[in-house]
C-alpha cells in the first residue's frame, strides 16, 4: 500500500514547525497588544451557516466546501473560513450583551476549501483572523487593517501593498446591482453558466468570475464607486483619513469586490510584491460586514475583520529571502560513559529538565565522539561528561561548547552553575 497525504494538504515536519511557532507567537503577541482575545470554534458547522453568510452564489459555497452527511443525517461542512463561526458564536453566546463593546476576537486554525492545487493554495490551510463586532466606527476599520499590516511588518516583510475599496451600504449596492444587470443582461449568453445564474441573484459575483475574467464587458462594467451614496462615501473618507493618521499607505481599487457575500463598506486586501511570491500575490483579505450578525439571528451589531493564511505568510517571508535566526533551545547534552555513569546520566538528565534546563542524552549507546557530534548538531550550549572517575569524585566534567573550556564541577553545585552561566550568556547575547 502506498498511502500519501491527500492532495492539497501537507505534513509540517519538525524542521519546519519551529518557523510556524515563531510566527504564531508573533501573531498572538500582536493580538495581545491590540486586545483581541482568542476564540476557538469547531472545525465543522451546520452547512446552512456558510450558505447563509458566505453566500450560496459564491465559489466557496458552490464549489469548494467539504460537505458531508453525518450519521444522524445532518448536513455538516468543514469550515472554509472563520468569520461565519465567530459571528455564530457571538450570537449564540449573546456576546452583544458583554459590557465591553466592540467584542474583539481572533482565531487561528485549519480551514478547508476544495480548490485547484497551485502555489500558495491548499485544501487545508491555517487561517489567522480577527473580528471586531459591535462598532461602526471607521477608526476600528483602520485598527483592523493596522493589525494585519503590523503582523507582516514584525515578520520582516517589506514588499507589502494594501488595496482598499468601499462596497457601500445596502442602498448603494441595490442601485449598483440594477446597473450591473442592465450592463450584462443583453450579452449574458456569452458568459459561463455560473455567471448566467449569478445575473439575477448576485450580479456582483460576475466581476469575480475566474472563467470570464477577460470578457470585454468586465472592463466596462459599472463601478461601485459611482454608486456610493453620500453616507457610504463619507464613511470611506473617514477610513482613509484614519489610515493616513496611522501612516499606512494604501491604493484604492474600485474593482476589489472580494469573494464572499457578507461584505459592505470597507473591503481590503494585502498583497506581496516580492518577486519570489509569484502569482499568489494576496496575503490577506477582509472587510466590513454590517448586517451579518442580524442575518444569523442576532441584533444589529456591525462588524469588521480579516484573515490571512500562515502558509502564505511563510511563503512571503521566504520570497523576501528573510533569514530565520533559529535559536538553539538545547542547554545541555549529557554523556555517560560506562554502565554506572549511564545510570547517573539518566538521573541527571531528568533532574536538569525538572529545573527547566533543556537536556538531551544518548539512547543508542554510541561512542563518546559520536555523542559529541550530536551535541554539536543539536546546538547544545554545554556538554556534561560522566565517567567512572567523575562518578567517584561525585562530580562531572562540564564543557562550554562556545568557548571550549571545561571544568570539573561537583554534582551538588552543577545545576546552580549552569543556571548562572546561562543567564550570563543570555545577557551577553
Ligand atoms: P478570504 O479572502 O477568503 O477571506 O481568505 C483570507 C485569506 O486566507 C487569503 O487572503 C489567504 O491568505 C488565505 N487563504 C484562503 N484560501 C486559501 C487557500 N486555499 N490556501 C491558502 N491560503 C488561503 C476570508 O476567509 C474572510 N473570512 C476574511 C474575513 C474575516 N473577513 C472579515 N473577517
pLDDT band at 149 (very low <50, low <70, confident <90, very high): very high
Annotate 85-146 with DSSP letters as a single string. Answer: HHHHHHHHTTGGGSSSSSEEEEEEEEEE-----BTTB-SEEEEEEEEEES---HHHHHHHHH
Kindly report, residue by residue over 353-362, the tens digit of the pLDDT. 999 999 999 9
- Regarding the beta carbon of 362 and ligand 1, being less than 6 Å apart is answered no
Omega before 102 within 30 of 0, i.e. cis: yes
* Over residues 384-406, mean pLDDT: 95
pLDDT band at 412 (very low <50, low <70, confident <90, very high): very high
Kindly report, residue by residue over 288-342, the tens digit of the pLDDT. 999 999 999 999 999 999 999 999 999 999 999 777 766 778 999 999 999 999 9
Higher-scoring residue by pLDDT: 127, 322: 127
pLDDT(45) > 90? yes
**For residue 288, what are the β-bridge partners?**
264, 304
Which pLDDT value is given to residue 135? 98
pLDDT band at 85 (very low <50, low <70, confident <90, very high): very high
- Regarding the beta carbon of 399 and ligand 1, being less than 6 Å apart is answered no
Report the separation in Å between the CA atom of 284 and the middle of ligand 1, taken as the mean of its atom positions.
6
pLDDT(415) > 70? yes
Which pLDDT value is given to residue 426? 65
Higher-scoring residue by pLDDT: 421, 304: 304
Which pLDDT value is given to residue 326? 67
* Contact call for residues 396 and 348 (beta carbons, < 8 A): yes
Stated pTM of the model? 0.92
Residue nearest to atom 10 of ligand 1 (CA): 284
Report the separation in Å between the CA atom of 136 and the middle of ligand 1, taken as the mean of its atom positions.
22
* Over residues 79-100, mean pLDDT: 98
Residue nearest to atom 16 of ligand 1 (CA): 121
The rounded mean pLDDT for the chain is 94
Which pLDDT value is given to residue 221? 93
Nearest-atom index, ligand 1, CA of 312: 12
pLDDT(414) > 70? yes
Residue nearest to atom 31 of ligand 1 (CA): 286
Annotate 151-205 with DSSP letters as a single string. Answer: HHHHTT---EEEEEEE---HHHHHHHHHHHHHHHGGGGGGS-HHHHHHHHH-GGG
| 13-17, 57-61, 209-213: range with lowest mean pLDDT | 209-213
Which pLDDT value is given to residue 79? 98
- Which residues does 402 contact at the CB level (< 8 Å), separation at least 6? 381, 425
Kindly report, residue by residue over 244-278, the tens digit of the pLDDT. 999 999 999 998 989 899 999 999 999 999 988 88
Pocket test for ligand 1, best of 62, 81, 117, 144 (most atoms within 8 A of CB): 81
Three-state DSSP state, 254: coil
- Regarding the beta carbon of 285 and ligand 1, being less than 6 Å apart is answered yes
Report the separation in Å between the CA atom of 285 and the middle of ligand 1, taken as the mean of its atom positions.
6
Which pLDDT value is given to residue 323? 75
- Regarding the beta carbon of 58 and ligand 1, being less than 6 Å apart is answered no
Polymer length in residues for the chain: 429
- Regarding the beta carbon of 264 and ligand 1, being less than 6 Å apart is answered no
- Regarding the beta carbon of 194 and ligand 1, being less than 6 Å apart is answered no
Amino acid at each position: 500500500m502506498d498511502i500519501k497525504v491527500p492532495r492539497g494538504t501537507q505534513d509540517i515536519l519538525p524542521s519546519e514547525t519551529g518557523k510556524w511557532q515563531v510566527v504564531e507567537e508573533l501573531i498572538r503577541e500582536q493580538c495581545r497588544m491590540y486586545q483581541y482575545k482568542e476564540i476557538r470554534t469547531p472545525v465543522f458547522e451546520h452547512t446552512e451557516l456558510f450558505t447563509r453568510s458566505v453566500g450560496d452564489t459564491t465559489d466557496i459555497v458552490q464549489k469548494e466546501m467539504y460537505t458531508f452527511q453525518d450519521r444522524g443525517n445532518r448536513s455538516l461542512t468543514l469550515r472554509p473560513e472563520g468569520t461565519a463561526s465567530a459571528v455564530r458564536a457571538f450570537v449564540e453566546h449573546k456576546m452583544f450583551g458583554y459590557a465591553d463593546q466592540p467584542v474583539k476576537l481572533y482565531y487561528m486554525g485549519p480551514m478547508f476549501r476544495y480548490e485547484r492545487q497551485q502555489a500558495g493554495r491548499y485544501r487545508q490551510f491555517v487561517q489567522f483572523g480577527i473580528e471586531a463586532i459591535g462598532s461602526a466606527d471607521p477608526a476600528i476599520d483602520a485598527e483592523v487593517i493596522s493589525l494585519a499590516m503590523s503582523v507582516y511588518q514584525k515578520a520582516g516583510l517589506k514588499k507589502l501593498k494594501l488595496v482598499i475599496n468601499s462596497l457601500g451600504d445596502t442602498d448603494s449596492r441595490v442601485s449598483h446591482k440594477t446597473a450591473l444587470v442592465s450592463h450584462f443582461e443583453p450579452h449574458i449568453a456569452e458568459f459561463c453558466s455560473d455567471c448566467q445564474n449569478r445575473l439575477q441573484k448576485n450580479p456582483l459575483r460576475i466581476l469575480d468570475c475566474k472563467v470570464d475574467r477577460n470578457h470585454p464587458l468586465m472592463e466596462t462594467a459599472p463601478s461601485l464607486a459611482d454608486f456610493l451614496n453620500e453616507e457610504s462615501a463619507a464613511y470611506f473618507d473617514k477610513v482613509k483619513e484614519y489610515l493616513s493618521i496611522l501612516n499606512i499607505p494604501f491604493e484604492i481599487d474600485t474593482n476589489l469586490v472580494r469573494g464572499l457575500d457578507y461584505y459592505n463598506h470597507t473591503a481590503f486586501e494585502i498583497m506581496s510584491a516580492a518577486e519570489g511570491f509569484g502569482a499568489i500575490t494576496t496575503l490577506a483579505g477582509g472587510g466590513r460586514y454590517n448586517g451579518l450578525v442580524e442575518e444569523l439571528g442576532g441584533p444589529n451589531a456591525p462588524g469588521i475583520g480579516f484573515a490571512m493564511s500562515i502558509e502564505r505568510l511563510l511563503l512571503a517571508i521566504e520570497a523576501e529571502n528573510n533569514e530565520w535566526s533559529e535559536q538553539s533551545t538545547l542547554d545541555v547534552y549529557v554523556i555517560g560513559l560506562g554502565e554506572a555513569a549511564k545510570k547517573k546520566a539518566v538521573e541527571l538528565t531528568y533532574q536538569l529538565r525538572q529545573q527547566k534546563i533543556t537536556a538531551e542524552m544518548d539512547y543508542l549507546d554510541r561512542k563518546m565522539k559520536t555523542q559529541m557530534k550530536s551535541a554539536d548538531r543539536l546546538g547544545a550550549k554545554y556538554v556534561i561528561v560522566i565517567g567512572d572517575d567523575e562518578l567517584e569524585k561525585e562530580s562531572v566534567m562540564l564543557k562550554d561548547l562556545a568557548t571550549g573550556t571545561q571544568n570539573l564541577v561537583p554534582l551538588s553545585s552543577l545545576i546552580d552553575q549552569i543556571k548562572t552561566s546561562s543567564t550570563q550568556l543570555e545577557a551577553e547575547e
